[in-house]
Amino acid sequence: LARPMQDYLKGLNDRQYEAATHINGPLMIVAGAGSGKTKVLTTRIAHLMAKGVDAFNILALTFTNKAAAEMKERIEKMLGNNEARNLYIGTFHSVFARILRGEAHRLGYPNSFTIYDSDDSKSVIKSIVKEMELDEKQYKPNVVLGRISQAKSSLIGPLQYQEDYYLQQEDQRTNRPAIGKIYKRYADQCFKNGAMDFDDLLLKMYELLNTFPEVLLKYQHKFRYVLIDEYQDTNAVQYQITKLLAAAHENICVVGDDAQSIYSFRGATIENILQFQKDYDDVKVVKLEQNYRSSKNIIEVANTVIRQNKGQIPKDLWTDKDQGDKIKVVATMTDNEEGKYVSTMIQELKLRDHYHNHDFAILYRTNAQSRAYEENLRRGGIAYKIYGGLSFYQRKEVKDYIAYLRVIANTRDEEALKRIINYPVRGIGKTSMERLQTIANQHNMTLWDVILRAPETGLKGAALEAIRKFITMMQYFQSLQTHKNAYEIAFEVGKHTGLVKELFNDKTVEGLARYENVQELLNSIKEWTDQQENLSQIDEEGTVQEGITDQTLQNATTLGLYLQQITLLTDADNDKEDADVVKLMTIHAAKGLEFPVVFVGGVEETIFPSGLSINTREELEEERRLFYVAITRAKEKLWLTHANSRYRFGNVVANDASRFLEELPKDYIDRSFSGGTGSGFGRGDQHFGGGFGAGGFSRGSGFGSQNDAAAAARKYGPPPAKKQQPYKSTVLPTQAPPQQKVQVHVP
Ligand code: ATP
Ligand code: MG
């Protein structure tokens, strides 16, 4: 076939080529797992740029920021230049947050608005529930937030919510009739605090485009090409925004697989794929059927699984690859035996087939399942990393520090202000705080404004003096924003607040860990500001910075940009690429990724399919799609394991093998049983001996924290040797921390 061949197009099959070189007009690629959808999307961006489209005019939306970073890198390689840095590329949330930094003032928010993570949101909801004197058990923050989040993803505002018959019915039925009212207060409170939660980043972006025609025009003009990966998991707001943006040029390319739609519980809808062809005339549809990822056996099993779903666009994947091993289905007595089996198998494959730690992924349905794997991997001295669970930025000491930065960037940020006003302890007690808070609520003022007028509030003596000092300090930090970067400001905060000193003085092992975490935070801020300075003005182009003229604001935005960046990190983004570690994550988090060897654990009734998702065909089919996603992550080898019994919620429960296992084609699988001396229930005394309480952290070493590492090292000897990270002290006090016997390994 004669076709013009730039190097980056070589190796594409005909249909991939067709899609990658399609330039103008709507394009949809619906194709099975591993068929090169993401690759085509990446290549298409490179091709557009090669054909003269300015990178500034391309918007690409990905599932994680890491995926975006990888794409950029590939495109730079394909084109041999670094133009890709000018692309608007990232998750919906990060791209829209970036745009809102220049536009939020139109909606009455400060451009330096705070982004609330779900902890912040829950804490706001908690205080609203309290204020409204509602039953805190009935109105659990995460339940309420879930409802609000669903409403926002469906573009339902608080007033509309309260008028919606079906939503009201549902809230009556579940005995939470006040959710609409909470939603209203929550929205008001966030606005007052100058804060947006994750859903707001989408919702406000939509409002912005929908309310201000001139803004819409500006971005339609800017984003002449729009590309979206994982389109099957977009929700209603995302759909509406991209539709608005693409309306002028209709150069929109979406890529997805209806068989991998796994976020309907968060409001995503496959309808968006079906609707696409109706929204635009002349949609070019490309189907890809060759899988380049997996062995024949894996593909056969995946095809068989997904065929059981009724509501699926039929497509058959095939592959040129080898037959490969059969899929192993392994039963064990207990979940601990399951963990042991997997870690033993990893050891074996490393020795026998020369695999490395980083070739392995352990996937599971729920985060709680990771524990049995962790224990056994530690025992086996295998370095690993857990994605999900408590991340670096959710640790208390890190959050406290960041709260200072948040208030500096945005004094309206009440959640952050409450966190730091008396931390470290400075004599602004609970009673004083309650009084200030009440006044703020009564007069609808921000807490900060009330604090500024503290002498009028009746506060006296030491408390008043403490507040005065606090204000002076904070105003000093704020004044730095005109001429200091995020790191320099953070440094000053560490020096003047007593925060670092307080941690430094705590000589316990935990205290040392916290101290080091703060150091690590400062290192990362430094790294970020250095990067920004090298990038020399990422927002060089006038469009996005428009509206920010004032020098102060611009610098506030630098600190704001930093804060935004860390709030929007997803688990997968925390990956340190070169780390040779086994990766543990939920199947949801593994979407779009691939690994040579995959273990899928807990393939049991009530776990997978989840006990909560077997009441309707739709739910069950979503679980089955999740199973399909799990299977199709594997390139070479795949294990599906299940345990006859496991600890759940503190009890031993017996589980049947999953119905999904019965659906597998017999000729492509090997079944076996592992272990099972019958004494498998002695788990409590065997393994809960020491230091394993904490869940994994998704950053740094596979050993949840250094105390865990220490405990593990004491019990099982040190993990495999890794280069130790140089200890960098970036903030006072300069005296080195006490030497610890136990080495901390950061793979
Ligand atoms: P998923 O549905 O899981 O997101 P996908 O359709 O996006 O999968 P990719 O991740 O783009 O698939 O590709 C899967 C693997 O196949 C990657 O390793 C990719 O580099 C490789 N691949 C894709 N197309 C080709 C090709 N034409 N030649 C060689 N390798 C290819
Ligand atoms: Mg993909």
Q: What is the pLDDT of residues 478-497, one digit of tens each?
A: 999 888 999 999 999 999 99
Among 38, 43, 91, 529, which one carries the catalytic annotation?
Answer: 38
Nearest ligand 1 atom, CA 292: 16
* Ligand 2 centroid from CA 40, angstroms: 9
Residue 613 near residue 350, CB atoms below 8 Å: no
Residue to substitute in 3, 12, 38 for testing ligand 1 pocket (most ligand atoms within 8 angstroms of CB)? 38
| Cis peptide bond N-terminal to 726, omega within 30 | no
pLDDT digits (tens, 9 = 90+) for 29-77: 999 999 999 999 999 999 999 999 999 999 999 988 888 989 999 999 9
Residue list for the binding site: 31-38
Nearest to 118 by CA among 30, 3, 197, 4: 197
Active site residue 37: yes
Joined together, the tokens standing for residue 437 give 């808070």
Residue 223 near residue 89, CB atoms below 8 Å: no
Among 197, 229, 413, 621, which one carries the catalytic annotation?
Answer: 229
Residue 658 near residue 608, CB atoms below 8 Å: yes
Distance between CA atoms of residues 622 and 587, nearest Å: 12
Ligand nearest to the CA of residue 288, numbered in listed order: 1
Nearest to 332 by CA among 376, 365, 386, 295: 376
User: By CB neighbour count within 10 A (0-12 exposed, 13-18 middle, 19+ buried), where does 370 fall?
Assistant: buried
Residue 556 near residue 112, CB atoms below 8 Å: yes
Nearest ligand 1 atom, CA 629: 3
Residue to substitute in 230, 292, 303, 313 for testing ligand 1 pocket (most ligand atoms within 8 angstroms of CB)? 292
Active site residue 591: no
Distance between CA atoms of residues 513 and 503, nearest Å: 9
- Measured from the Cβ of residue 316, the count of other Cβ atoms closer than 10 Å reads 10
Q: Confidence class of residue 366 from pLDDT cuts 50, 70 and 90?
A: confident
pLDDT at 200: 96
Q: What 3-state DSSP class applies to 253?
A: strand
Across the range 343-355, mean pLDDT stands at 95
Strands 58-61 and 595-600: what pairing? Answer: unpaired
Q: What 3-state DSSP class applies to 635?
A: strand
Q: What 3-state DSSP class applies to 416?
A: helix
Joined together, the tokens standing for residue 619 give 């739910």
Letter string b/e over residues 112-151, b meaning 16 or more CB atoms within 10 A of that residue's CB: bbbbbbeebbbbbbbbbbeeeebeeeebbbeebbebbbbb
Distance between CA atoms of residues 27 and 40, nearest Å: 12
From atom 2 of ligand 1, which residue's Cα is the shortest distance away? 33
Across the range 716-745, mean pLDDT stands at 32
Nearest to 696 by CA among 231, 347, 450, 383: 383
Q: What are phi and psi of 448, to 5 degrees?
A: -60, -45
* Ligand 1 centroid from CA 582, angstroms: 22
Task: Name which residue leads in pLDDT, 649 or 602.
Answer: 602
Helix axes 213-222, 198-211, angle to 10 degrees: 100
Nearest to 597 by CA among 370, 383, 358, 378: 358
Exposure of 499 in the CB half-sphere (CA atoms within 13 A): 30
Task: Name which residue leads in pLDDT, 295 or 503.
Answer: 295
Q: What are phi and psi of 235, to 5 degrees?
A: -105, -175
pLDDT digits (tens, 9 = 90+) for 496-555: 998 888 888 887 777 777 887 888 788 888 878 887 777 644 444 433 333 333 333 444
Q: Confidence class of residue 455 from pLDDT cuts 50, 70 and 90?
A: very high
Joined together, the tokens standing for residue 204 give 């406000």
pLDDT digits (tens, 9 = 90+) for 616-657: 998 999 999 999 999 999 999 999 999 998 877 667 889 999
- Per DSSP, 293 falls in state S
Task: Name which residue leads in pLDDT, 684 or 583.
Answer: 583
- Could you tell me what percentage of the chain is helix, strand and coil, using 3-state DSSP and rounding each to the nearest 5? 55, 15, 35
pLDDT digits (tens, 9 = 90+) for 201-233: 999 999 999 999 999 999 999 999 999 999 999
Across the range 672-679, mean pLDDT stands at 66
473, pLDDT greater than 90: yes
pLDDT at 661: 97
pLDDT at 173: 92
Helix axes 486-497, 396-409, angle to 10 degrees: 110
Across the range 420-446, mean pLDDT stands at 92
Across the range 597-604, mean pLDDT stands at 97
- Per DSSP, 291 falls in state E
Long-range contact list for 721-729, CB < 8 A, 24+ apart? 721/745, 722/383, 722/746, 722/747, 727/519, 728/519, 728/523, 729/519
- Per DSSP, 546 falls in state T
735, pLDDT greater than 80: no
Residue 392 near residue 574, CB atoms below 8 Å: yes
449, pLDDT greater than 80: yes
Residue 584 near residue 362, CB atoms below 8 Å: yes
Sheet of 225-228: strand order equals 88-90, 58-61, 225-228, 252-256, 27-31, 284-288
Nearest to 465 by CA among 501, 473, 497: 473
pLDDT at 566: 81
683, pLDDT greater than 70: no
pLDDT at 692: 26
pLDDT at 612: 83
Distance between CA atoms of residues 196 and 202, nearest Å: 10
Distance between CA atoms of residues 397 and 409, nearest Å: 19
Joined together, the tokens standing for residue 323 give 């037959």
474, pLDDT greater than 80: yes
* The residue count for the chain: 747
361, pLDDT greater than 70: yes
Query: Which amino acid, 118?
Result: S
pLDDT at 572: 59
Ligand nearest to the CA of residue 289, numbered in listed order: 1
pLDDT digits (tens, 9 = 90+) for 104-160: 999 999 988 999 988 899 999 999 999 999 999 999 998 999 999 999 999 999 999
pLDDT at 54: 96
pLDDT at 501: 87
Mean pLDDT of the chain, nearest integer = 84
- Measured from the Cβ of residue 723, the count of other Cβ atoms closer than 10 Å reads 8
Distance between CA atoms of residues 608 and 586, nearest Å: 12
Q: Angle at Cα 386 formed by Cα 385 and Cα 388, nearest 5°?
A: 150
Mean pLDDT lowest for which of 182-196, 274-288, 513-527? 513-527
- Measured from the Cβ of residue 201, the count of other Cβ atoms closer than 10 Å reads 25
Residue to substitute in 64, 78, 253, 293 for testing ligand 1 pocket (most ligand atoms within 8 angstroms of CB)? 293
* Ligand 1 centroid from CA 16, angstroms: 10
Joined together, the tokens standing for residue 476 give 């000093």
715, pLDDT greater than 60: no
Question: Who lines ligand 1 at CB under 6 A?
Answer: 11-13, 16, 31, 33-39, 257, 260, 292-293, 592, 594, 632
Distance between CA atoms of residues 372 and 380, nearest Å: 12
User: Dihedral of the CA atoms 263, 272, 44, 23 (nearest 10)?
Assistant: -170
User: Dihedral of the CA atoms 392, 395, 397, 399 (nearest 10)?
Assistant: 90
Active site residue 260: yes
Among 62, 64, 189, 260, which one carries the catalytic annotation?
Answer: 260
Among 633, 635, 646, 699, which one carries the catalytic annotation?
Answer: 633
Q: What Cα–Cα distance (Å) separates residue 632 from each residue in 38, 291, 455?
A: 15, 10, 64
Q: What are phi and psi of 338, to 5 degrees?
A: -60, -45
pLDDT at 224: 97
* Ligand 1 centroid from CA 668, angstroms: 23
Residue 489 near residue 473, CB atoms below 8 Å: no
- Partner residues linked to 638 by β-bridges: 598
Map 326-388 to HEC letters: CEEEEEEEEHHHHHHHHHHHHHHHHHHHCCCHHHEEEEECCHHHHHHHHHHHHHCCCCEEECC
Residue bearing tokens 């490309």: 286
Joined together, the tokens standing for residue 266 give 């968060």
pLDDT at 693: 27
pLDDT digits (tens, 9 = 90+) for 380-408: 999 988 887 556 777 888 899 999 999 99
Residue list for the binding site for ATP: 31-38
